[in-house]
Amino acid sequence: MDRNFYTLITGASSGIGMAIAREMASRGHNIILHSLPDQNLSRLTKELEDDYHVKTLYYEVDLTIENGPQLLYEFVKQSEVEVDIFVNNAGVGFDGPIESYSIDEIDAMILLNVRALTHLTYYLTPELKRHPASYILFISSFGCYVPTAYKSVYLATKSYIFYFARALRSEFTGTSLRTCVVVPSAVRTNKNVLDRIRRNGFFAKASAISPEEMASVAVKAMLRGRKVVLPGIFANLSLNFGFLIPEGIVFWMTRRIFGNFRKIS
């Protein structure tokens, strides 16, 4: 493997991003880690280097600020490395009725999940297309298939990611660049998510997977050229079965499940 080629992973300080960083490093890929400031990326950088003997770089910036995506891209260019895999992982979500959100929460979801992701894809695509084989991995959500009460803004952003990734896959036909979009159900990433899984009942518990399982499935699918991947047997069965249920019943079920929200301050 070319030692100057790197995988760039946004939101890599914990959860899915950290698990994907470990999965890629275990396969011999050099890594560029991104996170918000003060997320202890220097420690993760050293762990990856010691455990997997790969080269790692890191850069901390808030991608929701106006020039955040540009600053990350400029860091990559100034580092004089080649990015052949880009993992668009950074994201944030809030639950509850639309009127319960603060404007800052709404902006955070739109600016990070949509604007930053789109800008970084725009900046990196020309370089990615120059390589013999390159990939962009997007993290969407199982909820992009079902408009879900109390998760309206978050899942709208995840639907954007799903269709953006699928459209780019078509647009990149004839080039060396491939997109893959992952649509996980619940992923056991942190205390708040674990609490939400517990409160959301049987479906959330049955379909929940670990970040490590999610990372393994996502990376394998990406490198095999898959367009869309839905991790977990239960989630796959639920999706296929869900297409047979009338829409009104699906909406009633999701209202019952996700109406058990709790605002996290």
Residue 240: pLDDT over 60 = no
Of 119-133, 234-248, 250-264, highest mean pLDDT? 119-133
Is pLDDT larger for residue 185 or for residue 244? 185
Neighbours of 122 (CB within 10 A): 11
Whether residue 112 contacts residue 90, with contact meaning beta carbons closer than 8 Å, is answered with: yes
* Backbone φ/ψ region at 225: left (φ over 0), alpha (ψ -120 to 50), beta: left
Which run of H or E residues covers position 192?
helix 191-199
Return the higher-pLDDT residue of 99 and 196.
99
Mean predicted confidence (pLDDT) in 228-246? 60
pLDDT, tens digit, 9 for 90 and up, residues 179-224: 999 998 766 555 554 455 455 555 555 567 788 998 999 999 999 9
Q: How much is the pLDDT for 231?
A: 78
**Cα separations in angstroms, 163 against 37, 151, 232:** 30, 18, 21
pTM metric for this prediction? 0.86
Q: Tens of pLDDT along 104-117? A: 999 999 999 999 99
Range with the lowest mean pLDDT among 88-102, 131-145, 146-160, 222-236? 222-236
Per-residue pLDDT, 146: 79
Percent pLDDT > 90 in the chain is 68
pLDDT in tens, 65-87: 999 999 999 999 999 999 999 99
pLDDT score of 10: 98
Separation between Cα atoms, residue 33 and residue 18, nearest integer Å: 9
The domain defined by 5-258 carries CATH number 3.40.50.720: yes
| Residue 134 contacts residue 175 (beta carbons within 8 Å) | no
Mean pLDDT on 139-148: 85
